[in-house]
């Protein structure tokens, strides 16, 4: 049982609550979990929950059927986001983004760990792993470099702008290691070393807890409970394979454990495919399977020269293999509704092979910002649960401040007047086509640039009041694009009247505003939106997946205000070289004008990925062309091409350049 105390509880009231629980026969402990002060009460006694909830200083009481109370989703419904590191390169683990940890099995030398850190960082890893202390089966195997190795690793993490995670093997070493690592790892062999768990938990640092080779899921979660009960609030669970009768792989990766644990616990789940299969060629398939099953991230062993590795060389990827895996994860992420996490480099540091962005175009270069101000939100159109809000959280994280706007134009206004640091707006859907309103807004707001893009899979649901059913419906509300994307389903119900709404989440919220005098919701009104919108309003999903085609994706643009010839990019998107740009222009009314523009692109080897015409307002039978193009690797070629296009076009607008979404 958990007793959540009110924020204003007095010391006297808290003491009286503790006395009450002890008198009832409970063993009690205090725990800070996020912003909540919690008293955990464990025992076989039965307490009157109503009487307990009425005690001064008690906000609510949560009873759980699980022995792991603090780790249970019953008492903490929302996903926990574990923060590793601090400052600009702090990593948020969990939620809607996929976190990749990479590095060698063991720190072998200063040069080896630094080289590995730079290589995996360049490919997209955000946390550096490596063992300074190595518990080995054989007493004659390499045991690690100890504290000297940890010092090498910390220096490598700082050089690559990455927090580090390393294994702690004994309670005696924990305090000495505290200031040298950003996250402790409890290895599989020590999962049930309870004295170690209590000591590490008391230090308050994030912990990556590996599952033991023969541990049940409940035993694994109870080990997490030790850490949480001892003081830390940041625990990530790591599935690394269990021991079975199979001999073709080192262990057996328990893929089924991922969705099971995600349902039982709020803690993020990381998968270690390297230890799970133990064979280099099998790691990437296992890693992708883990992401598909819902893992929040991976920890992967990478070594610049695996054949020379002092530990676990056969299961270590070459840097080139790791880079290919990262590209595959980036392509898979939108399918499972997630985004691959990227973190910025510190000022003055940049990934290798990154060309200077300003040299690519004099029209609107992009400038990475050090960090998003905590006082400035990111704007989106719609209400809580909107698809745009989901896209926003994938790009910026779940804890970023958000500004809800009732219309797309107000998102542009908020970014323009400085009310928001960035905005997120949809620009194209894979089934219904372009959202022309937002392309037109780029013309109306020339000081706004595209700073990034991402793709979000759209799964539409039919949402209504808890007491409604399909037969009771007469009205369905949604954005016109939502209707178009669900046309096949709606055609089967011609008796429903379709009412267009500004956005899908607002359509859901409109149901809540139509309560009658008795507080009852209308059973005849439904809305088409995402599952998150239903959860935000406490409504019921009547049917999920009603879109005509499951390959339904919306492309969102991240917008920011131009400052001179530059526009800031979000920290999570600013570390890689832009490879895509968007333009708008018109052409003279004479034969071959558009062909001349396309000819310039063709001769320069620049790929054209989108070409669409839109009527020019106030000029009948004149058109603007919206164009998406690739940015070539050759420095200066793109700038030259833009100059040639501007010379033969009219009303030329450079919307921005950015990293293309997978």
Q: Which residues pair with 366 in a beta bridge?
A: 567
From CA 554, how far away is CA 535, in angstroms rounded?
21
| Radius of gyration (C-alpha) of the chain in whole angstroms | 27
| Residue partners of 615: CB distance under 8 A and separation at least 6 | 621, 622, 623, 624
Q: What angle separates helix 593-603 from helix 637-648, to the nearest 10 degrees?
A: 170
* 518 CB-contact burial (10 Å; exposed 0-12 / middle 13-18 / buried 19+): exposed
Q: Which DSSP category does 593 fall into?
A: H
64 catalytic, yes or no? no
371-377 contacts at long range (C-beta below 8 A, 24 or more positions apart): 371/88, 371/344, 371/571, 372/396, 372/400, 372/421, 372/422, 372/570, 372/571, 373/421, 374/401, 375/401, 376/401, 376/418, 376/419, 376/420, 376/421, 377/401, 377/402, 377/403, 377/419, 377/420, 377/421
Residue that is written with structure tokens 């993490």 in the block? 157
β pairing state of 378-381 and 525-529: unpaired
Which stretch of DSSP H or E encloses residue 464? Answer: strand 461-464
| Residue partners of 62: CB distance under 8 A and separation at least 6 | 1, 2, 4, 74, 75
Please say whether the beta carbons of 434 and 628 come within 8 A: no
CA dist 76 → 44, 49, 232, 401, 611 (Å): 22, 18, 15, 21, 48
Please say whether the beta carbons of 236 and 269 come within 8 A: yes
From CA 309, how far away is CA 583, in angstroms rounded?
49
CA dist 16 → 31, 52, 56 (Å): 17, 11, 9
β pairing state of 91-93 and 97-103: unpaired
DSSP 3-state of 429: strand
From the list 554, 625, 638, 641, the catalytic residue is 554
| CA-wise closest residue to 173 among 113, 132, 228 | 132
From CA 589, how far away is CA 598, in angstroms rounded?
16
CA dist 236 → 206, 225, 266 (Å): 8, 12, 10
Which stretch of DSSP H or E encloses residue 171? Answer: helix 171-177
Query: Other C-beta atoms within 10 Å of 176: how many?
Result: 11
* Helices of type H across 265-318: 273-277, 280-292
User: Edge to edge, what strands does the sheet with 525-529 contain?
Assistant: 497-500, 475-478, 525-529, 461-464, 540-544
556 catalytic, yes or no? yes
From CA 187, how far away is CA 311, in angstroms rounded?
15
Residue that is written with structure tokens 């803690």 in the block? 267
List the structure tokens of 382: 């719609």
From the list 184, 556, 585, 654, the catalytic residue is 556
Query: Other C-beta atoms within 10 Å of 174: how many?
Result: 19
From CA 435, how far away is CA 396, in angstroms rounded?
23
Please, what sign has the CA dihedral across residues 350, 354, 356, 357?
negative
Q: Which residues are catalytic?
A: 554, 556
């Amino acid at each position: 049982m958990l007793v959540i105390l009110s924020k204003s509880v007095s010391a006297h009231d808290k003491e009286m609550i503790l006395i009450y629980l002890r008198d009832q026969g409970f063993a009690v402990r205090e725990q800070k979990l996020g912003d909540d002060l919690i008293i955990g009460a464990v025992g076989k006694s039965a307490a009157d929950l109503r009487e307990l909830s009425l005690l001064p200083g008690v906000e609510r009481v949560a009873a759980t059927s699980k022995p792991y109370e603090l780790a249970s989703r019953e008492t903490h419904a929302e996903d926990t986001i574990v923060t590793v590191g601090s400052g600009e390169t702090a990593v948020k683990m969990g939620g809607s983004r996929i976190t990749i940890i990479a590095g060698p099995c063991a720190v072998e030398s200063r040069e080896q760990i630094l080289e590995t850190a730079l290589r995996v960082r360049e490919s997209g890893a955000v946390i550096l792993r490596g063992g300074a202390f190595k518990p080995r089966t054989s007493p004659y195997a390499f045991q690690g470099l100890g504290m000297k190795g940890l010092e090498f690793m910390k220096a490598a993490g700082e050089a690559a702008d990455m927090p580090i995670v390393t294994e702690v093997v004994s309670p005696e070493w924990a305090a000495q290691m505290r200031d040298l690592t950003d996250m402790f790892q409890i290895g599989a062999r020590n999962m049930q070393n309870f004295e170690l768990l209590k000591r590490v938990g008391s230090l308050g640092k994030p912990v990556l807890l590996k599952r033991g080779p023969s541990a049940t899921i409940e035993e694994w979660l109870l080990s997490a409970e030790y850490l949480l009960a001892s003081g830390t609030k940041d625990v990530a669970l790591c599935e690394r394979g269990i021991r079975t009768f199979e001999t073709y792989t080192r262990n057996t990766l328990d893929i089924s454990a991922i969705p099971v644990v995600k349902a039982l616990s709020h803690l993020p789940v990381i998968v270690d495919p390297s230890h799970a299969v133990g064979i280099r060629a099998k790691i990437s398939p296992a890693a992708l399977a883990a992401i598909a099953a819902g893992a929040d991230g991976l920890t992967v062993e990478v070594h610049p020269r695996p054949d020379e590795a002092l530990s676990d060389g056969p299961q270590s990827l070459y840097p080139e293999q790791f880079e290919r895996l990262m590209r595959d994860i980036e392509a898979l992420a939108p399918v499972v509704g997630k985004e691959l996490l990227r973190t910025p480099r510190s000022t003055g540091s940049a990934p290798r092979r990154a060309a200077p962005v300003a040299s690519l175009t004099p029209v609107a270069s992009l400038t990475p910002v050090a960090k998003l101000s905590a006082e400035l939100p990111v704007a989106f159109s719609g209400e809580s649960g909107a698809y745009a809000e989901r896209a926003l959280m994938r790009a910026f994280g779940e804890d970023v401040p958000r500004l809800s706007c009732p219309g797309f134009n107000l998102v542009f206004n908020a970014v323009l007047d400085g009310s928001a640091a960035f905005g997120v707006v949809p620009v194209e859907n894979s089934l219904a086509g372009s959202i022309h309103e937002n392309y037109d807004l780029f013309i109306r707001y020339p000081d706004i640039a595209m700073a990034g893009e991402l793709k979000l899979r759209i799964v539409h649901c039919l949402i209504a009041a808890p007491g409604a059913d399909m037969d009771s419906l007469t009205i369905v509300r949604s954005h016109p694009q939502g209707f178009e994307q669900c046309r096949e389903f709606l055609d089967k119900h011609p008796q429903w009247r379709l009412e267009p709404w500004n956005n899908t989440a607002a359509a859901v919220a409109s149901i809540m505003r139509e309560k009658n005098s008795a507080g009852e919701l209308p059973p005849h009104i439904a809305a088409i939106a995402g599952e998150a919108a239903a959860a935000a309003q406490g409504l019921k999903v009547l049917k999920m997946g009603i879109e005509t085609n499951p390959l339904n994706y919306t492309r969102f643009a991240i917008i920011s205000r131009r400052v001179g010839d530059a526009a800031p990019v979000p920290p999570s998107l600013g570390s890689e070289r832009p490879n895509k740009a968007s333009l708008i222009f018109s052409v003279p009314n004479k034969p071959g004008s558009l062909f001349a523009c396309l000819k310039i692109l063709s001769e320069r080897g620049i790929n054209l990925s989108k070409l669409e015409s839109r009527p020019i307002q106030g000029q009948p039978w004149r058109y603007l062309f919206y164009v998406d193009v690739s940015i070539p690797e050759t420095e200066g070629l793109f700038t030259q091409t833009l100059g040639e296009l501007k010379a033969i076009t009219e009303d030329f607008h450079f919307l921005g350049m950015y990293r293309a979404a997978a």
